[in-house]
Chain A
Amino acid sequence: GAGVSQSPSNKVTEKGKDVELRCDPISGHTALYWYRQSLGQGLEFLIYFQGNSAPDKSGLPSDRFSAERTGGSVSTLTIQRTQQEDSAVYLCASSADRPRGGYTFGSGTRLTVV
């Protein structure tokens, strides 16, 4: 597609449930990033995939968070046993190998844990 697509756009879940967030990057973009943004705050880095290299998972806040990228394209961010503090907008971005034009962001998934 023309842009980065994220689904769902909104997700309300009960505390303790697992959720999966999906990101479809721009075709041909080798790099894919997940960020989290709490209300009125900046972006918090979560995880970064670059081609066939091992992902940089240094931003994942706990072992309840995991992500995978299948076939170098679609990525899924999974949060297990959700907590209220997980409520945030989860943003995905992709870029070409050398992002001369910067990253392209999706519209995000707003996760609310009740």
Chain B
Amino acid sequence: AQTVTQSQPEMSVQEAETVTLSCTYDTSENNYYLFWYKQPPSRQMILVIRQEAYKQQNATENRFSVNFQKAAKSFSLKISDSQLGDTAMYFCAFMKHLNAGNMLTFGGGTRLMVKP
């Protein structure tokens, strides 16, 4: 079974600065997919960014980018120019390739506070 670990329960950052959230995972699979989800106080889960394990290039979505280190089984999220609206819980998630149910395994989350 896969496990996903987010070692930082809480983090804070000043508005306009950059912050990096950590995620590590344990798998014996070679092909898989990784995701970051954001959960603001509204409780809605929002997909932030995704990465295919077979792609070496790190994914980028506007102010959000990842540092994917396959050998180290690490998938960190970098948020640049942090905004107050980035305050949320962030969850890292893993999915095996050719997974019959397309099931995601989630980490425990990191609570991010952006301070004005």
A and B bound? no
